[in-house]
Amino acid sequence: MRDLPEYGTPETLGAGVVKRSTSLADGRELIYYDDPGTTLPPERSIDARLLDPRPETASMRRDVLTGDWVSIAAARQNRAFLPPAELDPLAPQSPGNPSEIPSLYDVAVFENKSPSFGPALGGSDDLDAPGLDRTLPSVGRCEVVCFSPEHSGSFGTLTPTRARTVIEAWADRTAALSALPGVAQVFPFENRGEAIGVTLAHPHGQIYAYPYVTPRTTSLLASIDREGPDLFARILESESASERVILQGEHWTAFVPFAARWPLEVHVLPHRHVADLAETTDAERDELAPFYLRLLRGVDALYETPTPYIAAWHQAPADGGRDAVRLNLQITSPRRAVDRLKYLAGSEAAMGAWIGDVLPEAAAERLRDAVARVPEVQ
For residue 64, the 8-state DSSP code is: T
pLDDT per residue over 102-153, tens digit each? 999 999 999 999 999 999 999 767 899 999 999 999 999 999 999 999 999 9
Nearest one of 294, 317, 307 to 341, comparing CA atoms: 307
Q: Are 356 and 261 in contact (CB under 8 A)?
A: yes
Catalytic residue, chosen from 202, 204, 273, 314, is: 204
- CATH of the domain spanning 11-212: 3.30.428.10
Q: Which CATH class is domain 217-372?
A: alpha beta
Residue 198 predicted with pLDDT over 60: yes
pLDDT of residue 256: 98
Q: Name the residue among 13, 354, 38, 374 with its Cα closest to residue 170.
A: 13
**Distances in whole angstroms, Cα of residue 172 to Cα of each of 12, 17, 186, 376:** 11, 11, 12, 27
Question: Does the pTM exceed 0.85?
Answer: yes
Band the pLDDT of 266: cuts 50, 70, 90.
very high
| Annotated catalytic residue 267 | no
Give the start-to-end residue ranges of the domains of the chain: 11-212, 217-372
